[in-house]
């Protein structure tokens, strides 16, 4: 049973990345977005883009939190890091809440948490949008 679940999780993770890689390639052709390079600085991930429409970070990093006291590993994945589940590991506090600050420019971002190999929603997300996998992505709007 666990083996089947792990296989399904891997298929879901791979399908999610393929979908977003395709979207990213199509956006590059249209000139809307270019690859993003990330740099980890402590608990803040600074996202930089080479797009002609450079979205500069304004103000404080966007804070993400996920309550999961028994979880061993949580990452933040979204369109801002090409859905890479290894790019933005979160840090667990003594209260059992995993946190990460991400420097994002103004805009709309889709994301999910990846906890112990399973895609999870953000219970505090105010917006969600359907994705190609039959589930939903959480949406974070960063104001200008």
Ordered DSSP codes for 62-86: EEEEEE-TT-S-EEEEEGGGTT-TT
Residue 45's pLDDT is 42
* Model pTM score: 0.63
Q: What is the mean pLDDT of each run of 10 residues along the chain (144 residues)?
A: 52 52 36 32 37 49 96 97 97 98 95 98 96 95 91
Contacts 24+ apart (CB under 8 A), 53-60: 54/105, 55/104, 55/105, 55/106, 55/107, 56/105, 57/103, 57/104, 57/105, 58/105, 58/106, 58/142, 58/144, 60/101
| Fold of the domain built from segment(s) 2-142 | Immunoglobulin-like (2.60.40)
What is the pLDDT at residue 53?
32
The confidence score (pLDDT) of residue 17 equals: 54
Contact criterion met (CB below 8 Å) for 90 and 77: no
Structure confidence at residue 60 (pLDDT):
81
């Amino acid at each position: 049973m666990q083996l089947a679940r792990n296989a399904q999780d891997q298929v879901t993770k791979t399908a999610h990345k393929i979908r977003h890689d395709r979207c990213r390639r199509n956006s590059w052709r249209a000139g809307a977005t270019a690859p993003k390079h990330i740099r980890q600085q402590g608990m803040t991930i600074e996202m930089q883009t080479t797009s002609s429409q450079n979205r500069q970070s304004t103000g404080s990093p966007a804070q993400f939190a996920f309550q999961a006291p028994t979880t061993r590993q949580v990452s933040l994945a979204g369109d801002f890091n090409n859905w890479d589940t290894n790019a933005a590991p979160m840090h667990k506090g003594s209260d059992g809440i995993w946190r990460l600050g991400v420097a994002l420019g103004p805009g709309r971002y889709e994301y999910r948490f990846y906890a112990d190999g399973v895609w999870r929603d953000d219970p505090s997300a105010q917006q969600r949008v359907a994705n190609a996998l039959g589930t939903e992505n959480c949406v974070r709007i960063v104001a200008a």
